[in-house]
Structure 1
Amino acid sequence: MRTRELGIRIGRGTPGRFNAITDVAGVRVGHHTLNVVAGDASVHTGVTIIEPRAGSARLQPCFAGCHVLNGNGDATGLEWIREAGLLTTPIAYTNTHSVGVVRDALIAAERDAVASDVYWCMPVVLETFDGLLNDIWGQHVTADHVQRARAEARSGDVGEGNVGGGTGMICHEFKGGIGTASRVLKTGEGGWTVGALVQANYGRRDALRVAGYPVGEVLEQVHSPFRETADGRTGEAGMGSIVVTIATDAPLLPHQCTRLAQRGSVGIARMGGGTEDPSGDIFLAFSVGNSGLPVANYGRVGAPTTAVEMVNNDHMSALFSAAAEAVEEAIVNALLAAKDLTARGARAEAIGAERLLAALREVGWRPDSESRRA
């Protein structure tokens, strides 16, 4: 069950039809999941693909921006986004040691599909570490897995929890993974949609908050994957990372996308994250609101200017609020969708709907409460 099905209200915004990043028109998501039980060499990992524009519009760049809250992580393709403000490829999530192969596979796919139309591509690949539950040193993700994830990319409902890049992830010492959510602004605020998709693999148990309530304080005694295995691979509670993609159909310029990406920090902070040194917290935001942005065909004659729209700054606040809420709810959805996973001598328990509801009630929450704790 997802957050709202349990009566848990994150903020006061209204979700879209699917309460997912795919509520932003044209955005599609696909996963490929690897689950192989083989003792210490067990594989629990995968690839998640986000396609910003579907169909014939796939070559059109999007304005984009990025933000790093804590840089204990890695990503490809972000320097060109910082420089030019353009996202020109799909976005991929995977594990830390598979960034290279996923990037190379995306380049190969673009070469085969559009080599006559573009000169180069710089794919965006984001990662989090799944080495406690997955044989990360084995580098089991292949180019074929990347292509399968792309082939599965769809609009509509999005798989969450132990899927794709999120298969082996841990969040607040519970089983984590992929989560998504969205918000639709009121007509007077522009009527735009904001969606987020996270790969949640961060956080300490005692810091966990849901809808503002300190549930981690009453869940500290639940088994943690960082408190067991005798082989020294337990790591440190709070290690890991979270990567976030925020999409919108609001016509934002690149610097405004950067400002929107920064608001991912707010959603994570509300959950009790964002303060751990061994966490890579990297956020990307893109806008599909300006269509017809030209492909960079160097050496070819093209128009010297392109007309674009922008949201006035005094209308950005509602977008910021929507982004923060969508990220916060996406993390809760990832926790609720996740399933128990035992691998390589470690066990990550799912938080589970019943356990979460019991913890919320213990700290004073009531279903669909209009209030939230500070």
Structure 2
Amino acid sequence: MRLVHPAGKRARDHGVPLDGEPGPWDAITDVPDVEVGYTTLVEGSGELDEGRGPVRTGVTAILPLGRDGVGTSCAAGFHSLNGNGELTGSHWLEESGGLSLPIGITNTHSVGAVHRGVLAWSLRTNPAIKDAWHLPVVGETWDGYLNDINGDHVQPHHAEAALDAATSGPLEEGSVGGGTGMNCYAFKGGTGTSSRVVRVGERVYTVGVLLQANFGARRELTIAGRKVGRDHLADNPMEDSDWLAPPGSGSCIGVVATDAPLLPGQCKALARRVPLGLARTGTTGSHFSGDIFLAFSTANRGALDSAIGPAPSRLSRIDFLPWGALDPVYEAVVQATEESVLNALVAARTMVGRDGHRSPGIPASALAGPW
């Protein structure tokens, strides 16, 4: 699913001042080879009937190296700000420093289905990897306020469909893919993305971020340094008695991509910068919000492959930026993360889900400045 953004659909279109130079699509897909696809499931209305709906959920799929790169490693690292969440495959990622399969993001109770779907799709796409072991990376956030989360509506074929749909180009945001049923700062949230062009000496790289934004209390919301939630949005219907969890709870899965050549430890350092971008939008990190972040570099393809069989006769080599040169890359992660949150909020529209639960779209007044 793809959408060329009409005017007013993103934070920049509302005049929100944001630092840094975005790429052509201002999306994670500005990083060469990275592709993203969605499956969005919206069905039914009214009272919750477990197994029947209402359904407000989906799957987001990210191909780090495109279809041709399935089974080929790229350097990667992850960081957990708060472990009240899940990112499968993270132990092997930490051990090997390599990511070789697509990434899936969905709701909390559908991780298993998406895990199976990512694996099935990967083996179908590249049969040569069938004899190896695989540990797909799947993240989650909770959409039970709007969605029949225990109804098993996400199935493996939905993950496969999201992967089949993955392409480069501008991305739809808001209530799409795994972000369909999510809330952010007690407004309708979901999927958001942004990118930055980075110059390190004479070299130019791209950093892209994609978030599944499902976190934050209304009073915390900050836009371009302005305390919007506290000073301008006191009416807070989602923090009344019908809200099913403490204010601020939810979770955030963040994925950072770059074509800058990095070591796995440097990718981990990028992932550690995502919370700084989230903090710019106001969150203080609720105990009930699982916030887990993954970063990967598309350079050095295959250098971290774990081959089965006799040890190779040659040494593997990896190029990387000196640690002291990474500050512009760190800055880009923080900037793109902040904008990704705001893009998710701006793109999402009011949604009514199970039992009439309502998640309001952010009002235009919150984006009106003065800046």
SS of residue paired to 2:268: helix
* Identity of matched residues, %: 43
CA distance in 2, matches of 1:351, 1:303: 58
Indicate the SS of the match to 1:127: strand
One-letter amino acid of the structure 2 residue matched with residue 60 of structure 1: T
Q: Which residue of 2 aligns with 1:260?
A: 270
**1:198-243 deviations in whole A, cap 9, x for unaligned?**
00000011111111111111343334323143xxx63221110011
Structure 1: gaps spanning 5 or more residues: 366-374
Deviations 1:34-87 (A, max 9, x none): 001142130000000010002433332110000000111112011111111011
- Look up the SS of the partner of 2:82 in the other structure: strand
CA offsets 1:117-149 (integer angstroms, 9 cap, x no match): 350211100000000000001121011111110
Which residue of 2 is the match for residue 3 of structure 1? 11
Instruction: State how far apart, in whole Å, the 2-side matches of 1:309 and 1:116 are.
Output: 27
**Residue in 2 that maps onto 1:368:** none
Q: Which of residues 130, 136, 140 is equivalent to 2:143?
A: 130
2:128 counterpart of 1:116: yes
Q: Report the TM-score when normalising by structure 1.
A: 0.91
Alignment of 1:83 onto 2:95? yes
Match of 2:190 in 1: 177
- Give the distance between the partners of 2:113 and 2:237, measured in 1 at CA: 31
Deviation string 1:260-281 (CA, Å, 9 cap, x unpaired) is: 1000010011111142110000
Count how many residue pairs are aligned between Structure 1 and Structure 2. 356
Does the 8 A contact of 1:129 with 1:241 survive in 2? yes
Q: What secondary structure does 1:155 align onto?
A: coil
Distance 1:219 1:236, change over 3 A: farther
- Shift in Å at residue 189 of structure 1? 6.5
What are structure 2's unaligned runs of at least 5 residues? 1-8
Q: Residues 191 and 219 from structure 1, CA distance in 2 versus in 1: closer, same or farther, beyond 3 angstroms?
A: same
In structure 2, the residue matched to 1:107 is 119
Given that 2:121 and 2:163 are in contact with CA atoms closer than 8 Å, whether structure 1 keeps it comes out as no
Given that 1:265 and 1:274 are in contact with CA atoms closer than 8 Å, whether structure 2 keeps it comes out as no
State the TM-score, normalizing by the size of structure 2. Answer: 0.92
Give deviations 1:80-121, integer Å, cap 9, x for gaps.
111110111111110000001110111122233334335021
Q: Deviations over 1:285-314 (max 9, x none)?
A: 000121242643311563442121010111
Note closer, same or farther for the CA distance 1:159–1:300 as it changes in structure 2 (3 Å cut). farther
Structure 1: which amino acid aligns with 2:350? Answer: D
**C-alpha deviations, 1:164-213, integer Å up to 9, x for none?**
00000000000000000000013637311100000000001111111111
From 3, 27, 37, the equivalent of 1:30 is: 37
- 2-structure distance, mates of 1:348, 1:272: 19
Aligned to 1:146, what secondary structure does the other structure show? helix
Determine the structure 2 residue equivalent to 1:51. 63
Task: Provide the secondary structure at the position in 2 that maps to 1:191.
Answer: strand
Q: What is the letter of the counterpart of residue 244 of structure 1? A: G
Task: Pick the aligned partner of 1:285 from 286, 295, 314.
Answer: 295
The Cα RMSD (Å) is: 1.6
Aligned partners of 2:29 and 2:35 also within 8 Å = yes
